[in-house]
Amino acid sequence: MGALSRPLRVVGAGAVTPAGLTAPQTCAAFRAALSAFEEYVRPEPFGAIQLVARVPAHWRLRRTEGDWLVNMAARAITEALGAADPRDTLLLLMPPESFRGHPAYHDIPPARFIEAVQSAAGARFHPASRALDGGPAAAIGVLDHALQTMARQGAGQIVLGGVDSLINGADLARLDRANRLKGDGNAQGLVPGEAAVFVRLAPAPAADAPAAVLATGVAEETDTVASERYSQGRAMLRALRAAVAGPGPSEPDVAFVVSNGNGERYGGWEAMIARPRFYRTRREMLPTAYPAMTFGEVGTAGAALALMVAADSLAEGYAPGPVAMCEIASEGGLRAAAVVAGPGRGDG
């Protein structure tokens, strides 16, 4: 895919996470290396203890799984939108992937999910707004198409992100069956989390924008986490190469990585194989940020969380360099990469 037709500057963010109820709180918690992990008593099997990362909230907000996701999404979207006009804003929303059978869809059918979120937010977004299946990597993969849609249909900006919770009976049961949960018997498992994270992206230059998405790459991995084979990193490697195929920053320019890796053995194996094949320039080290170490596995919210962390690190001066690579993997097999850079790094 390579360079986007226009850079997309990160001009706003909103977040509801286990370690912060706003974007600034979430970023501060990550900078401080706080852990939002806690023990959770599972109803099935009764009394089993699972380590999770749970958003602190009143029980009334969790009356149903559908209400909970909608409430989280509406709050984060409202924060990301700020004072901007929602009618001029293309909302691209990643709810939980359809293959998971998330219990939220028992309350709100997938076809009605984005309408429920807009209603809860009290805002009507651009008519081209969509809810997309495909997990967090789909949020990166849709960006170039979104730019084309904006040009054709007159939207001025994008609010992009996802809302998800893996702390539910269906997800915990399927992850347990596959021995993918972190616990006493599995040190290399994931910690289920939940979050809603959105970033506001604008193609027009903005003097106060700390960072811009310059290029993306997407590929499909056939050896998924549900297959009988470990991934050899082929799709992630293709996505990374596509992201630097254009005229912008190239592989030697990448100073650090932000990954939605969650501690699973499968993902660690994939990264161990793919990265040495892409990052060929000699480095003393390749700093890598893993938001899951603070927030757990946040599912479809992982891409926007990575973009927000990359932009915050550039804005607040704790980035180890001016160019970041966001590496995003979806459970279903989609892989994506996005080059995020500070001002003056080929962002026009």
pTM: 0.96
For the chain, the average pLDDT equals 94
Q: 6-10, 159-163, 303-307: lowest mean pLDDT where?
A: 6-10
pLDDT of residue 18: 98
The two tokens of residue 175 are 């992850």
Number of residues written out for the chain: 348
Q: Which CATH number is 211-341's, of 3.20.20.70, 3.40.47.10, 3.40.50.1370, 3.40.50.2300?
A: 3.40.47.10
Q: Please, which pLDDT band fits residue 47 given cuts at 50, 70 and 90?
A: confident
pLDDT tens-digit series, residues 159-216: 999 999 999 999 999 999 999 999 988 999 999 999 999 999 999 765 556 799 999 9
Angle value at C-alpha 121, between 111 and 61, nearest 5 degrees: 85
Nearest to 216 by CA among 164, 272, 160: 160
DSSP category for residue 42: E
Residues of the chain with CATH 3.40.47.10: 2-202, 211-341
Q: 113-127, 136-150, 194-208, 233-247: lowest mean pLDDT where?
A: 194-208
Q: Please, which pLDDT band fits residue 82 given cuts at 50, 70 and 90?
A: very high
Asked whether the beta carbons of 195 and 301 are under 8 A apart, the reply is yes
3-class secondary structure, 273 = helix
Tally DSSP H helices, then E strands, for the chain: 11, 12
CB atoms within 10 A of CB 205: 13
Residue 1 has pLDDT above 80, yes or no: no
Q: Which residue has the tokens 């009507």?
A: 124
Q: Regarding the domain delimited by 2-202, which CATH topology (the fold level of the hierarchy) does it fall under?
A: Peroxisomal Thiolase; Chain A, domain 1 (3.40.47)
CA distance 235 to 203: 28
